[in-house]
Amino acid sequence: MVSDSIGILIAVVVIAGVALPVATEAMVTDTNSVTNETYSPATLPANITVDNVEFGVVEDSETITWVNGIDSTDTAELTEGTDYEVISYEDGTFEIQSYADYSEEDGDYFRFDYDYKPDGYIQNNITRTVVDYVPLALALSVFMAAVAIIT
């Protein structure tokens, strides 16, 4: 009888060990990062929509940098409110208003680094926190049920 109970406990632990990571993967609570996405608008001001929007760009995660096309070590970070405006974080659209050193003819470009919310991302902060602890709660429940079966 004890050996059967131990077998049941091992089976429950193995099933939980496989099922819980799969369930956790389906619940998206982390954002993804993009670096070095480049754009070379013909004229300024220019509206630019970044490629990886899915459920929106994370607010205040963007860094927009001007890069000199002749000497790529010559860079400058743009300032929100002066050099660019956020049109929509939800759509991932930014307006580069002006930048004195920008010249498309010289091969200059703007480099975007940002975080975005991937497909399936849970928007609500409280829900994300709860979902982060669901696998732990499930694992404890499965373990307690297995111990109850044995005893």
Q: Convert the pLDDT of each residue in 79-107 to its tens digit.
A: 999 999 999 999 999 999 989 889 999 99
- Of 72 and 2, the structure prediction assigns the larger pLDDT to 72
Q: Where are the domains of the chain?
A: 2-28+125-150, 32-116
- CA pair distance 69, 145, nearest whole angstrom: 64
Lookup: tokens for 22 = 């799969």
Model confidence band, residue 13 (pLDDT cutoffs 50, 70, 90): low
Tokens for 86, please give them.
């956020």
Contact 56, 62 (CB under 8 A): no
Please say whether the beta carbons of 102 and 43 come within 8 A. no
Query: Predicted confidence band at 22 (pLDDT cuts at 50, 70, 90)?
Result: low
Supply the mean pLDDT for the chain.
84
Provide the pLDDT for residue 78: 97
Q: What are 55-81's pLDDT values in tens digits?
A: 899 999 999 999 999 999 999 999 999
Q: Is the dihedral of CA 100, 101, 104, 108 positive or negative?
A: negative
